[in-house]
Amino acid sequence: MKLKKILPQVLTLLFIVLIFGFFTMNAQENMDTRGIEFGFGFLKQEASFDIQFSLIDYDGSKSYARAYLVGLLNTLLVSVIGIVLCTILGVIIGVARLSPNYLINRTASVYIEFFRNIPLLLQIFFWYFAALRALPMPEDAPLLLGTSFMTIKGLFTPAPVWNNFDVFLITLIISLIIIFFFNKYAKKKQEEAGIQYPKFLISIGIFILVPALTFIFGGVDLTWSFPELKQLAKTSYTYEGGVGIPPELIALTLALTLYTATFIAENVRAGIQGIGKGQKEAAASIGLTTVQVLKLVIMPQALRIIIPPTTNQYLNLTKNSSLAAAIAYPDLVLVFAGTAMMQTGRAIEIVAITMATYLTISLSISLFMNWYNKSIAIKEK
Amino acid sequence: MSKVNLLKPNKENINLFLGLGVSFFILGILDFYLNNFYDKNITSFLPGFISYFTPLIFGMIGLHFVRIEFSGIKQLDKLNKNINTSNFNAALSFSIILLLIFSIPPLLNWFIFDANIAGDTKEACTGGGACWVYIKVWFNRFMYGMYPNAEQWRVNATFIIVFIFMGLGYFFPLRFKKYLTLYYVIFLPVISFLLIYYLISGGEFGLEWVETGAWGGLSLTFIVAFFSLIFCFPIGMMLALGRRSDLPVVKYSSLTFIEFWRGVPLITVLFMSAVMFPMFLPDGTYVDKLIRVIAAIVLFEAAYTAEVIRGGLQALPRGQYDAAKSLGMGYWRLHLLVILPQALKLVIPGIANTFLALVKDTPLIFVVGLLELAGMLGLAKTNPKWLGFSMEGYVFAGIIFWIICYSMSKYSYNLELKYKTDR
């Protein structure tokens, strides 16, 4: 009986050890013959390649570690923008899918069936190589909303120029802390004495008013720098000032958002449909208004159904952002597993670091969402 | 005739309200139409901001007038109930109608009326619409990659034969039904492998050898997806069983394996197979690029398949295990004869979804230099003779993939319904 339990485990261990041993031995041998030494010392060397788009200060004289950081930040940037946008769009489409209005309902389902059945890579290619290439050159671009220019070289929008930005940021954080304690206090009051404050309005008020005060007292100052057309050569123009958002980022965000939103929409629909009709009727019969029914009865229950599959979609979006490499958006894969690997030839270290980074991102997202899911789960007494 | 209250359309004055409503509705659409297609703004006397929204306002007023409860006209009641229940709904419905008017004529023009399909050269494309000549000329490349034109019947023949073998399962006589799983899990993969090896790859029986680098286009998409599915299924099954095992070493090694592959993007796995994998093999060993790619995809997808199968295993009631154990069955007999046949039936829709995801993932193999449909498009659009037709190419590929994926997702949805009622 004991042997029956131990033998399979020993065999599994042996199998794993043998495979790993075989691989490490070969790798060792291969690296010896090629004169490469395993190690992460190369991260400190000068990278000597340029990156088109970077959130932090970077140029060719910086180290590979710095290039890695640039790539990582670019990946995180596109993932965060994508997650925010696809959540908003997904919720709207998911609710529209349940609308009694025939036209809205049909439009939403056509949207879902259309975008979820085309490979994401093809959609990225379409936006980048076909749709965004049809935009005008910088010198012919029309003014959008009086401030921005949408050109073949990207979107140029005004950039905020702050004075004493840190003061503003600190007050913003303070206002969030005040809101947190106010909400706690309001909840306590409601449970003790049944007094209801207009929580949402007061929170918004604090959030806007407190940071706004710093403009008067804190010496905070905000001006905008507008993009201006500048001639580089006889037929080559570009914009100066403002923020230039590269077309790669636009194409990638568009494709990721439109694609992932279809899945989130289906999750939202399933979540809302999963709540029994009786719940709505019971809530209405004790005199709650439509908004209250939605806020206090339907959403808390629907969220429990919606969140686990939506977590998966967030993870997918983050992993899919690696398709950026296909259109040369300088994300982690392109910068590090692409350019840096070509230059250093350190395949094992670099692929290992890249994979470990994605694993860490995936694990942190799923840990956070698990924590959030637990905090809204049914608390059984 | 009773008093007319414009804010509350009623049944007594139905003709008046219908007349007013329809004329406002038409006015709204006319305003929008003239604005967009003829550059004429009939409401230009209004300030710019309001004039911009006039079509919507007209349409809303029109829909407001026709919103009469129990009007006695069947179509009108149906219309009101479906798209016109409140002002908000009316605004949304009218915006969608405007959007359709705005987008459909230009799309139709581009697709059909201004498009060119006759001819063989770029010069044949004179209209402002799509140039389908480009697709026509490149069609073989998009389907078969660089596979020699004269040999393409071999690819077709392979696919037809494999399909026939797949369909044969339906016509099994009842007494052979118990071998069906064996047929699909072992016999079919072996047959398909032999077919691909001898017929597509060639080199024997007088067939010309075609290297895998020349394979491509849509047929490569299917070859990669089909093979990955066949191999990731048994591996996924073992992993799923391992994850639910009582033995800690087996359980945690399966768990680590599954979570590792699920946590990394496919593109890094393909990178790994391309640059890191050769380092792990004895010096001088050469493994074909296509095989390396399929191996990478198999490992990646096996983790997802394992989770799908685990779902099926978990859905079985405990009584099944207890009953089988009380009959004295051991672990393997219990799983092979009782648990897996039931669990696998439950997860067929899930497997179909995995396959769908796999087909949508295959374009990624371009990172290792294999050119399936999307990769071929990238190659075709850089051809100096055919510059500037990337839109047609991507639209074409989009339509092809959409048809494949949509029919597959509908099929798996039907399977889901079918197996739901079974239990």
Q: How many domains does chain B have?
A: 2
A27/B264 CB distance under 8 A: no
**Which range of residues forms the domain containing residue A255?**
64-121+248-376
Looking at the structure, do residues B61 and B142 belong to the same domain, yes or no? no
The rounded distance, in Å, linking the Cα atoms of B287 and B293 is: 10
Chain B contact present for A129, CB below 8 A: yes
Looking at the structure, do residues B240 and B346 belong to the same domain, yes or no? yes
The verdict on residue A294 lying in a domain is yes
Q: What is the pLDDT of residue A380?
A: 59
The rounded distance, in Å, linking the Cα atoms of A246 and A331 is: 13
Residue of A nearest to B405 (CA): A117
Residue A223 CA to its chain's centroid (Å): 28
The verdict on residue A186 lying in a domain is no
Q: Which residues of A touch B267 (CB under 8 A)?
A: 322-323, 325, 333
Residue B150 to residues A270, B154, B208, Cα–Cα distance (Å): 51, 9, 10
The pTM for the full model equals 0.85
DSSP B56-113: HHHHHHHHHHT--TT-S-HHHHHHHHHH-SSHHHHHHHHHHHHHHHHHHHHHHIIIII
Q: What is the pLDDT of residue A27?
A: 80
Q: What is the CA radius of gyration of chain B?
A: 30
Tell me the residue ranges of DSSP E strands in chain A: 143-144, 148-151, 154-157, 159-163, 221-225, 228-231, 237-240, 243-245
Residue with tokens 């694990």: A363
The rounded distance, in Å, linking the Cα atoms of A59 and B390 is: 33
The rounded distance, in Å, linking the Cα atoms of B63 and B85 is: 10
Looking at the structure, do residues B277 and B390 belong to the same domain, yes or no? yes
Residue with tokens 């080199």: B203
CATH number, domain with residue A102? 1.10.3720.10
In chain A, residues 336-365 whose CB comes closer than 8 Å to chain B: 337, 341, 347-348, 351, 354-355, 358-359, 362-363
Other Cβ atoms closer than 10 A to A7: 11
pLDDT, averaged across chain A: 82
Copy the structure tokens of residue A175.
């206002």
Copy the structure tokens of residue B190.
């072996």
The verdict on residue B166 lying in a domain is no
The rounded distance, in Å, linking the Cα atoms of A97 and A104 is: 7
Contact A272, A298 (CB under 8 A): yes
CB burial string A273-309: b at 16+ within 10 A, e below = eebeeeebeebeeeebeeeebeeebbbebbbbbbbee
**Which range of residues forms the domain containing residue B40?**
14-113
The verdict on residue B159 lying in a domain is no
The verdict on residue A285 lying in a domain is yes
Alpha-carbon dihedral angle through residues B293, B299, B303, B309, given to the nearest 10 degrees: 100
- At residue A114, φ and ψ (nearest 5 deg) are -70, -55
Residue of B nearest to A366 (CA): B263
Q: What is the pLDDT of residue B88?
A: 79
Give, as one character, the DSSP assignment of residue B282.
P
Please report, in angstroms and rounded to a whole number, the separation of the first and last CA atoms in chain B. Answer: 63
Q: Which residues of A touch B353 (CB under 8 A)?
A: none
Chain A contact present for B282, CB below 8 A: yes
Q: What is the pLDDT of residue A262?
A: 93
The verdict on residue A143 lying in a domain is no
Copy the structure tokens of residue B359.
């087909």
Chain A contact present for B93, CB below 8 A: yes
The verdict on residue A75 lying in a domain is yes
Q: Which residues of A touch B400 (CB under 8 A)?
A: none
The verdict on residue B370 lying in a domain is yes
The verdict on residue B167 lying in a domain is no
Copy the structure tokens of residue B10.
């009623």
The rounded distance, in Å, linking the Cα atoms of B13 and A202 is: 48
Looking at the structure, do residues B263 and B392 belong to the same domain, yes or no? yes
Please give, rounded to a whole number of angstroms, the shortest distance from the CA of B294 to a CA of chain A.
19
Looking at the structure, do residues B136 and B82 belong to the same domain, yes or no? no
Give, as one character, the DSSP assignment of residue B390.
H
Question: Which of A122, A339, A343, A344 is the best mutation test for B, with the most CBs of B within 10 A?
Answer: A122
The rounded distance, in Å, linking the Cα atoms of A223 and A239 is: 18
3-state secondary structure of B238: helix
The verdict on residue B25 lying in a domain is yes
Given the cut 0.85, state whether the ipTM is greater than it.
no
In chain A, residues 98-117 whose CB comes closer than 8 Å to chain B: 99-104, 107, 113-114, 116-117
Looking at the structure, do residues B272 and B216 belong to the same domain, yes or no? yes
In chain B, residues 234-263 whose CB comes closer than 8 Å to chain A: 246-250, 253, 260, 262-263
Please give, rounded to a whole number of angstroms, the shortest distance from the CA of A193 to a CA of chain B.
38
Q: Which segments in chain B show pLDDT lower than 70?
A: 1-7, 41-49, 127, 176-182, 185, 202-204, 206-208, 210, 419-423
Residue B104 to residues A99, A220, A284, B100, B101, Cα–Cα distance (Å): 23, 50, 42, 6, 6
Q: Which residues lie closer than 8 Å to A239 by C-beta, 6 or more apart?
A: A138, A149, A151, A156, A227, A228, A229, A230
Contact B117, B136 (CB under 8 A): yes
Looking at the structure, do residues B51 and B143 belong to the same domain, yes or no? no
Residue of A nearest to B392 (CA): A130
B92/A101 CB distance under 8 A: yes
Residue with tokens 């939506």: A310
Q: Which residues of A touch B395 (CB under 8 A)?
A: 126, 130
The rounded distance, in Å, linking the Cα atoms of A42 and A65 is: 9
Residue of B nearest to A102 (CA): B82
Question: Which of A117, A145, A266 is the best mutation test for B, with the most CBs of B within 10 A?
Answer: A117
Other Cβ atoms closer than 10 A to B226: 20
The verdict on residue B57 lying in a domain is yes
Looking at the structure, do residues B390 and B303 belong to the same domain, yes or no? yes
CATH number, domain with residue B326? 1.10.3720.10
The rounded distance, in Å, linking the Cα atoms of B270 and B290 is: 11
Looking at the structure, do residues B97 and B231 belong to the same domain, yes or no? no
The verdict on residue A311 lying in a domain is yes
Q: What is the pLDDT of residue B203?
A: 66
Give, as one character, the DSSP assignment of residue A136.
P
Looking at the structure, do residues B37 and B140 belong to the same domain, yes or no? no
Looking at the structure, do residues B233 and B376 belong to the same domain, yes or no? yes
Please give, rounded to a whole number of angstroms, the shortest distance from the CA of B227 to a CA of chain A.
19
In this complex, which of A117, A134, A347 lies closest to B406 when CB atoms are compared? A117
Query: B248-263 and B217-243 are packed helices; what angle lies between their axes, rounded to 10 degrees?
Result: 150
Copy the structure tokens of residue B366.
């371009």
Looking at the structure, do residues B25 and B139 belong to the same domain, yes or no? no
The verdict on residue A140 lying in a domain is no
3-state secondary structure of B210: coil
Cα angle A216-A218-A222, degrees, rounded to a multiple of 5: 70
The verdict on residue A2 lying in a domain is no
The verdict on residue B42 lying in a domain is yes
Please report, in angstroms and rounded to a whole number, the separation of the first and last CA atoms in chain A. Answer: 42
Q: How many domains does chain A have?
A: 1
The verdict on residue B185 lying in a domain is no
The sign of the CA dihedral B130, B132, B134, B139 is positive
Q: Which residues of A touch B79 (CB under 8 A)?
A: none
Q: Which residues lie closer than 8 Å to B71 by C-beta, 6 or more apart?
A: B11, B14, B77, B80
Q: Tell me the mean pLDDT per 10 residues along chain A, length 381.
A: 76 86 82 74 75 76 84 90 93 87 88 90 88 75 71 77 76 86 86 78 82 73 74 72 81 92 91 84 87 82 84 88 86 84 80 89 83 73 53
Q: What is the pLDDT of residue B340?
A: 79
Contact B229, B355 (CB under 8 A): yes
